[in-house]
Every structure is written in structure tokens, then in C-alpha cells.
Structure 1
Amino acid sequence: MVSSSHEAMHRIFQEYPGLFSRVSEVLGVSIGSPASATIMPTDLTENRPLERRVDTLLRIDMEDDESYLLAIEAQGKKDPEKPVSWMYYLSYLQAKYRLPPMLLVVCQDRATAEWAAQPYSVGHPKAPVLTLRPLVAGPHNMPVIKDVAEARKDLALATLAVITHAGDPDIGTMLKTLSTALRDVPEPIADPIVELIAQGLGKRPAAQQWRNLVAVDLSFYKSALSEEIRDEGRAEGRVQGRAEGRTEGRAEGRAEGRAEGIARSVLLLLGQSGVAVSGEVRERIMNCTDVDQLSRWLLRAPNVSAVEEIFAEK
């Protein structure tokens, strides 16, 4: 079954076709900026029962009227059968479209990326007739972006960097950087990025960190992920309201559920920042029911060095 991380690693190029030109520069190959890009059919099946599909296929048209095909494969683990399939894809694409094909393999762990980057030859060992040398993007060569200005300069590349570094120790800092960079970005641009990152992180621990960062300012993030977070808060509030037998009904339950959810996010972000939290402070935060006050604390939490700083009234 295809995982969400697998989908995000190649679908990002469908959303941002020009991203490959920047990725190729990172990988040491200067391709140039495209004039346009077209999403192509991914079915490479012949008139035989064998089915072959590439993850994403783009036709890239350059300003100098030259064109090429870009096949993108998301690879989650080593698979000795894959290089043969990749060679078939490239040969088939060359024969069908009469355009030079390129292959980019996107990985989320170093071992798989290094395996995918190894040349693979077909033919006699002393006289190979074909050699596969794909471009590979992964945690071994994608940038670790911790500067907000750098992230804003190329949001698509910053998003791919976060996805490929999903299991790295620095992922929390990278997520905070990108979340900050998105605060002033128009909603139609920010929403796909919010969703791609959530999809790319899959079930890794970093996925919850991203949800917490998205929850910092729900009035800005209007994506499906934000709606899901809000729905969880409402559901939790309704359950709590019923359990306590409140006569005010759903409205109060939702409010209390949201307040408690924000309070827990404040404590979680403080913990991720390495800020010590006493039992008294924890009780103060959890007992607060003022959503506006909690939201102010939540916005400060990622940037404080001592817990007293989130309570300071500016």
C-alpha cells in the first residue's frame, strides 16, 4: 500500500514543476529554469499483462524550445528490482516520446538514498551496454534550512527539504522555520504546503510537531489539516462536556475542548524548546480557559528561553 510520505515525495513536483531546476542545482547538475511544464500520463504499460507505472511524469519545456521528460520516483527502501524497472521506464519514454528522459529518485533515509545513487549496469561485467545513473534527492544532500529568510526565498525547496529530512534530529527546528516563514504567505500558497508537509511526515513523531505548529494560529491556516485539528478540539470538548453533565451543551464543550487543546500545545512546545516547566506553571496553563490568552502564550512558546517569558505582558 502506498504511504502518504511516498505520495508527498513525488506529488510536490506536480504542484511545483519548477522545483526540479533548483533541486538539480543542489545535486550539482545545471538544468536551467523551465518555461512551462505539463503533467504526463504515468502509465507505461504495454499491450501485455505486465503493468508498469512511474510515480510522477512531467514534460519540461525550456525557454530555448528544448524539452525533456522528468520521471520522479519516491523510494522508501532498498529494492533490488527497482533499477531494472527504472531502466525500462527511461527506455520506454525515449522510444515513445522521442524526448530525452531524466530520473529523479526522492528518499527519506540516507541508506536508501546512497543505494539508489549507485550506478547500475546491464550487460556483461566486462562490457556493460547500459548504465543507469539517476539523480537522487535525500537527507544526504538536501539542505537543512533553519533561516526564515532562506525558507521564504524558495518555499517549494524548503518543503521538499523538510520532507526528505523527516527523520532527522533537526526536523523540529526546520518545521519551526517553515511555519514562521508561512505566516505572511497568502492562503492559496500556504495551504498546499501545509498539507504536503503533513502528508510527507506520515506517521513519524515530527508529524505531531507539525500539527502543533499549525495549531499556533488557526485563524491563518485554513487548510484541511487545520480543519481536522479544529474538529478534534470540538470532539474532545463535546466528550468532556457530556462527561461533566454540563447543561450548556455543545458550545461550551467545544470552547473548553479548544482551550485544553491549546494549553496542551503550549506545554508541548515549551518541552520541545527545552524550557523547564514546574508543576505550578503546568497547573496555571491547564486551568486557563481564556482562549485568547492561551493563544498569546502559544505564539510565544517556541521562542522563549524561560517559562516566565510567556506570561510577560507586553
Structure 2
Amino acid sequence: MPSQVHDIPAELFRWSPKIAGHLLAEMGIKIPDIHDATEVSESCTDHKTSEYMADAAVLLDTQDGPWGVVVEVQRNDRLHDKRFTWPLYLATLRARHECPAALLVIAPQPSVARACAATIETGHPGYALTPLVLRPEHVPVMTDPDAIAADPAMGVLSAMFHAGPDDTLDAVVQGHDKIAEADRLIARRYYDWVSALLPEAARKTLREKMKTASRWYSEDAQAWIAEGIAEGKAQGLAEGKAEGRAEGEAKSLLLFLEARGIEVTDEQRQRILQCADLQQLETWVRRAATVSSADELFD
């Protein structure tokens, strides 16, 4: 089953379809000037048979007409099936929109990227497909907060491929705050997606930097907490029951954890939401201010 670290890179192209054209240009693909770009259906099934789905698909609006891009995210080297489905995805998008089309593969692991770049021989003379595999040198290193705010989706890709040194993680913090000045919801999405894609060590470092260096992150947390507590108190008064107060406390706790960037599993979320013990919930709320993972909350 696809995971969050698999889905987020594909979602970037739905969030900002135009980056597909920018990335292909960085890879040396000559595409006419792009006026706009739109997300299109990634389904590659036109009849009621087996369903084939790419991870994402984009249609670039260029000066010479539409140009399709199939986006595939690959995080392992189990490529046997892909050797057959990738040409199918490309041919379907090309036929559906009657336009040129390219296959762009996102494979952050170097060994997987090398495997993905191997030419696929289709069997037809002269028809072989060599996937275009995104590499770190194709993605700009974004350290300017204004540039990140102007293109948050590319900022997420930059962090995924280049984050590690302090200056790039500092740029994530500054970029988050710059985005938050205009739209705090987009800022939360930017931070959440970057955090999900980083290695564990970099994720922890980023979380600490956000706590100490981000003005908006701190204010975000306070806003989420206040909103959750207010909702809980209102619900409790309206219902006149302890269950209402408990549910409100549980929701405020989950909002607080989300604001701090702490991941909560479905099992942990259910444990919190199903707890009717107000004293226990208040203990968890106090702990939530200092824990670095949801597991610590229940210790």
C-alpha cells in the first residue's frame, strides 16, 4: 500500500503542475515555452478491464500545444511490473490528449534511481523507452525564503533532495515563516510534507529548529491549541456531559500534536479519541508540550 513518503512527491505535481515542465527543462528536455499547466487524470484505463494508474499526470500548455508528463514515484528496485506498465502509461496519456508525452520518475534513493534509468526494450524495432529519472542536480537548492514562498512545491522537492546541512534546514524554517505571512494553511502543508519526506535525523533537527527559530510555527501551535480547547469547552457546555468535555480535550490534544509536527498513527489517534478519562487526557496534554514522538506521550 502506498505510504505518505510515496504519495507526497506525486501530490506536489497536483499542487503545482507547472514544476513538471521546469524539471524536464533542467534535465535537458527541449519543451516549447510553457504558458500554463494543469493536472489531468492519471488513470490509464479506457475500458472496463484491469485498471492501471500512474502516480500523477500533468498536461503542460506550451506555445506549440499540449505536452503530457506522466509522474511515477519509485522507492524500491522492484521494477519488473514497471517495465510493462510505464510504456502503457505513456502511450495512454499521449493517445488520450494527442500530444507528445514524457515519463518522469522520482526516485530519491541513488541505487533505485540507477535501476529506474535502465532502458526498457519494448520488442518493437526502434521503440525503446528510457525513463527520465530526477536526480539532485536537476532540483535547485533553495535557500532563499522568498523563492520558497513563490514556489512551495519546488521547495518541498529541494528539501527532499538536498536537506541535511544546517543551511538547508534553516531555509525550510525561514521558507515556512515566509509562506505563513500570506497563507498559514499552505505553510502547514509545506512543513508537514517536508517533515514527512526527511530522514529521521534531519526531521528531528528540523523540529527543534522550528521550535526555537520559527515565530509562525509557535503561533500556529497556540492557535490550534486555543481553537481545540474552545471547541471542546463549547461542546461540553452544549451537551452538558463529561463525554463532550473529554472529546474536546482529545481533539485539542490531536491538534496540538499536529501543530508540533508529531506524527500520530491511526491506532494512537483512536486511543486518544476514545479516552473518556479527563484526568488522563489532561496529563497527555501536558506531556504533549515536550515529547518528541507520540509513543512518549503514553509512557
TM over 0.5: yes
Give the conservation status (yes or no) of the 8 Å contact 2:35–2:61.
yes
CA RMSD between the two structures: 3.6
| 1:12–1:131 CA distance, 2 compared to 1 (3 A) | same
Which one has more relative contact order, counting CA pairs under 8 Å at least 6 apart?
A: 1
Cα displacement (A) at 1:152: 5.1
Find the aligned partners of 2:194 and 2:34 in 1 and give their Cα distance: 24
Tell me which residue corresponds to 1:160: 157
| 1:242–1:164 CA distance, 2 compared to 1 (3 A) | same
- C-alpha deviations, 1:19-63, integer Å up to 9, x for none? 12321232223435533333222221243542211111122222x
Tell me which residue corresponds to 1:132: 129
Normalised by the length of structure 2, the TM-score is: 0.67
Partner SS state of residue 191, structure 1: helix
AA at the equivalent of 2:258: E
Find the aligned partners of 1:54 and 1:87 in 2 and give their Cα distance: 11
Tell me which residue corresponds to 1:85: 85
Find the aligned partners of 2:284 and 2:4 in 1 and give their Cα distance: 32
| 1:6–1:177 CA distance, 2 compared to 1 (3 A) | same
1:208 aligns with 2:238: no
| 1:46–1:259 CA distance, 2 compared to 1 (3 A) | closer
Tell me which residue corresponds to 1:29: 29
Cα displacement (A) at 1:132: 0.9
Find the aligned partners of 1:180 and 1:204 in 2 and give their Cα distance: 20
1:192-203 alignment runs, 5 A limit = 192-201=189-198
Cα displacement (A) at 1:151: 4.4
Find the aligned partners of 2:114 and 2:139 in 1 and give their Cα distance: 13
1:45 aligns with 2:39: no
Tell me which residue corresponds to 1:67: 66
- C-alpha deviations, 1:138-182, integer Å up to 9, x for none? 33643444555664564432211212346xxx3554222221222
| 1:44–1:226 CA distance, 2 compared to 1 (3 A) | farther
Name the structure with the higher helix share. Answer: 2
| 1:48–1:148 CA distance, 2 compared to 1 (3 A) | closer
Mind listing any 5+ residue stretches in structure 2 that lack a counterpart? Answer: 225-253, 263-271, 273-277, 294-299
AA at the equivalent of 2:211: A
Find the aligned partners of 2:162 and 2:50 in 1 and give their Cα distance: 34
1:228 aligns with 2:258: yes
Tell which structure's C-alpha radius of gyration is larger: 1
1:1-314 alignment runs, 5 A limit = 1-31=1-31, 34-47=34-47, 49-62=49-62, 64=63, 66-78=65-77, 79-123=79-123, 128-139=125-136, 141-146=138-143, 148=145, 151=148, 154-165=151-162, 170=164, 173-185=167-179, 186=182, 187-201=184-198, 204-216=200-212, 217-220=217-220, 228-230=258-260, 250=282, 254=285, 257=287, 260-261=290-291
Determine what percentage of the aligned residue pairs are the same residue: 23
Find the aligned partners of 2:27 and 2:259 in 1 and give their Cα distance: 37
AA at the equivalent of 1:207: R
Find the aligned partners of 2:20 and 2:102 in 1 and give their Cα distance: 11
| Runs (4+) off by over 6 Å | 221-226
Find the aligned partners of 1:28 and 1:80 in 2 and give their Cα distance: 27
